Amino acid sequence: MKLNYILLAASLAFTGAAYAQDETGSAVDRESQMLKELDTEMGEAEGTEQAFQALDTDGDGVISAAEAEQDTHLNAMFRDVDDDDDGQVSAEEFSEWKGGFVD
C-alpha cells in the first residue's frame, strides 16, 4: 500500500513536468493516459476476493508465507503486506495491498 502512494506521487510529479513542456496539447493526452494507468493499477480490486481465495489453498482464511510463494509479487512483498506482522496475510491486508475492498 505504501508503494502505491509513492508511485502515485511520482507519477503526478512527472505528469506536471510533461504538461509544462508540451504546447501541442499532447501533454493532456499523456496526463490522461497516466491517470488511466494509475486507475487501472489502483483498481485491481476487481477479482481481489477470487485472487485471495486462489492463494489461500488450505482455506483457512489467511495466506501463509508458503502459500504466498505462488504469487511472485506477493511473495516479494509479503512482510510489507502483512501489516500486523503475524506471519499471515488476511483478506483485509491482501485487499488493501491490491488497492480494493473485500466483498
Cα–Cα distance measured from residue 84 to residue 21, given in angstroms and rounded to the nearest whole number: 44
* Residues 89, 59 share a domain: yes
pLDDT in tens, 25-63: 555 567 666 655 554 444 455 678 889 999 999 999 999
pTM of the model: 0.54
Residue 103 lies in a domain: no
Cα–Cα distance measured from residue 81 to residue 33, given in angstroms and rounded to the nearest whole number: 28
SS3 64: strand
Domain boundaries, position 64: 48-98
Half-sphere exposure of 73 (CA within 13 A, CB side): 6
**85: phi > 0 → left, psi -120 to 50 → alpha, else beta; which?**
left
Residue 9 lies in a domain: yes
* Residues 56, 31 share a domain: no
pLDDT at 53: 93
C-alpha closest to that of 93 among 58, 55, 66, 57: 55
Give the confidence band of 103 by pLDDT, cuts at 50, 70, 90: very low
Residue 100 has pLDDT above 90, yes or no: no
* Residues 85, 58 share a domain: yes
CATH number (domain holding residue 82) = 1.10.238.10
* Residues 57, 80 share a domain: yes
